[in-house]
Amino acid sequence: MNEKNNENIVLEEYENKFSYQKSKSNLNIQFNRVAFIFFIFFTISIIYSIQLIHLGSIKQNIKDETRTSNKKNYRADIIDINGNYLVKTVSSIDVGINPVEVIDKKKLLINLKLIFPKKNFTKLKKKLNGKNFFWLEKKITAENYEKIMLLGDKSVKSEEKLTRLYPQNNLFSHIIGQIDDDNNGISGIEKSFDNELKKIKEPLKLTVDTDIQFLIREELLKFQKIFRAKGSAAILMDVNNGDIISMVSLPDFNLNKRKTINDVNYINRVTKGVYEFGSVFKTFTVAAGFNEGLIEPNTEYLNLEKQLPCDKFMIREYSDKTPTDLTVEQILIKSGNIGSVKIVQKVGEEKFKAFLEKIGLLSRIKFDIEEVGDPISINWGKCKLATASYGHGITTTLLQLAKGYAIITNGGFDIEPTIIKKEINKNQKRKKILNEGVSNKMNKILRKIVVNKEGTAELANVSGYDVGGKTGTAQQSKDGKYSRAKINTFVGIFPSIKPRYTLIVMLDEPKTNSEYIYYYRDGKQPTKGTPYNTAGWTSVEVAGKIIEKIGPILAIKYMEVN
């Protein structure tokens, strides 16, 4: 019994031990599986976390670079009078490669082909085999930037930059100007206001109107083709405060495609170009006579000579049909040369020079952009005084011409042309520099030049706008001699009863067009072909078309009692 019991006990103990060992073995197998799966997930999470940290560091670096770049390279936006963006600052990233730091060039090249399939990889391979750093992609897209940074190649370098965008492309090229690769202004407003644009936070507001600028440019482009002009220009300015609403010079250029413009034909013809403008100067001669109290509109000049000696040359009338008996008013309406000489001789050299200087025609003008021309100095004398009276042998810029006409038509108040919108100081009094009555007399005559059959600017008589103005046709001086090339100019003012605007249109070397049809606003039968290459048939026609387009906008946007 005892032995049997002992055997049973031993057997039970043995079975218990066996059962225990079996259970322990199963537990180990399950534990190892769980541990292995846990290890896999742990490894994946570590890799994922590292990737997130890497991407986070990239984004943080971009943010840090952006902050640094914002402080260093930020330039304020530029807007027009209505708040439309002319210049906008946006951020972009440039990516480059340092070949010296490339670990596996074949592998990098394959990856780059996948990211940038359109690139020239023959050139790229050559650069990778070199030793010099090179830019791979400027203004890279966000998608491609993420792809290339995920390669984890330390040879890939990125640089965040602030870029200037010009939404209007060519429209304001001569006004806005350009910046260089170091973010410094090199022309136009970008240069003149370089420091201010780097400091101010709010956009810089200009006086120009995008809608009007567009319409004027479109007309200039159209007629530049019609009259096959080398170039053209126009300026529209408020005669009472000097605000420039539009300033166009052709040819122009796309500011988003930065290039060095070396061709002199791309100069700003409004501010930089210095020209003889011809008969538009006769207006200043008459105004000087009025200002000195020496003449009146009805003052008569009888038995005027057909020609006058001037050194080795003779001064003649433009037309043989010009009468020998003329009043002062008729001298300007018919654009008489001899009559203008007689008036300036009465005014005298010193007083005439002083008058032209007073209204800002003879000296370099101070303006918001630095690209301004210097009128050619004159060796005054009897002959030079005579020719200057009708705009021959005397030069200035279109900008200064606009200023001069503004002063003689706005009541005689001095103004400074500006393209920067300034706050109005209601307490500031305007400085009157011409005598009372000069503008009233001048405006009536300028209106008659447009409405009278004897005048030279009939094509600018746009109904409802009371346009006045004066034409000027001048030969260009080349290599010290006068050539057949012309500068045709029309200076318009409107409404002439109480002027608000002056519009000047200039065509550089225009030519006649035998196919162009002139439509008259008074119902007269249309005529085909340009009869003469003069301002009356070219620049005046352009100005009339411009006023038709911009007149309604001016009436709505700028309706104001002066």
CB burial of residue 123 (10 Å; 0-12, 13-18, 19+): exposed
- Angle between helix 105-115 and helix 121-128 axes, rounded to 10 deg: 150
* pLDDT at residue 348 tops 50: yes
Judged by DSSP in three states, 317 sits in coil
Which H or E run contains 237? strand 231-238
* DSSP-assigned letters across all residues of 397-449: -HHHHHHHHHHHHTTSB----BSB-----TTPPPPB-S-TTHHHHHHHHHHHH
Q: Which residue has the higher pLDDT, 27 or 517?
A: 517
| pLDDT value at 119 more than 90 | no
The amino acid occupying position 78 is I
> What's the token pair of residue 442?
């001048």
The model carries a pTM of: 0.81
Residue type, 339: G
Q: Are 540 and 471 in contact (CB under 8 A)?
A: yes
Does an H or E element contain 472, and which?
strand 468-478
Give the count of beta carbons closer than 10 Å to the beta carbon of residue 113.
Answer: 12
Cβ distance 357 to 363 under 8 Å?
yes
| Residue that is written with structure tokens 């009863």 in the block | 497
What is the per-residue burial (b if ≥16 Cβ within 10 Å, else e) of 243-268? bbbbbbbbbbbebeeeeeeeeeebbb
- Name the CATH topology of 210-254+266-422+431-557: Beta-lactamase (3.40.710)
Residue 118, both tokens: 């359109």
The per-residue pLDDT for range 157-210, each reduced to its tens digit, is 988 877 888 999 999 999 999 988 788 899 999 999 999 999 998 999 999 999
Q: How far is residue 553's CA from residue 85's CA, in Å, rounded to a whole number?
A: 19
pLDDT tens, 377-407? Answer: 999 999 999 999 999 999 999 999 999 999 9
Say if residues 470 and 329 touch (Cβ distance below 8 Å): no
Predicted local distance difference test score (pLDDT) of residue 45: 64
pLDDT computed for residue 558 by the predictor? 67
Least confident stretch, 62-71, 89-98, 221-230: 62-71
CB within 8 A of 10, min separation 6: which ones? Answer: none
Give the pair of three-digit tokens for residue 304. 């005027």
398, amino acid identity:
L
C-alpha dist (Å) from residue 484 to 264, 331, 375, 508: 20, 25, 22, 12
CATH for 78-170, among 3.40.630.30, 3.40.47.10, 3.90.1310.10, 3.40.50.720?
3.90.1310.10
pLDDT tens string 368-383: 999 999 999 999 999 9
Strand, helix or coil at 61? helix
Instruction: State the angle between helix axes of 282-291 and 349-358 in degrees (0 to 180), rounded to the nearest 10.
Output: 110
Mean pLDDT calculated for residue range 249-256? 93
Ranges of each domain in the chain:
1-73, 78-170, 210-254+266-422+431-557
Tens digit of each residue's pLDDT (9 = 90 or more) over 55-77 = 455 444 444 443 344 456 789 99
Largest CA distance in the chain: 172
Residue 248 β-bridge partners: 234
User: Could you tell me the end-to-end alpha-carbon distance of the chain, in angstroms, rounded to an integer?
Assistant: 136
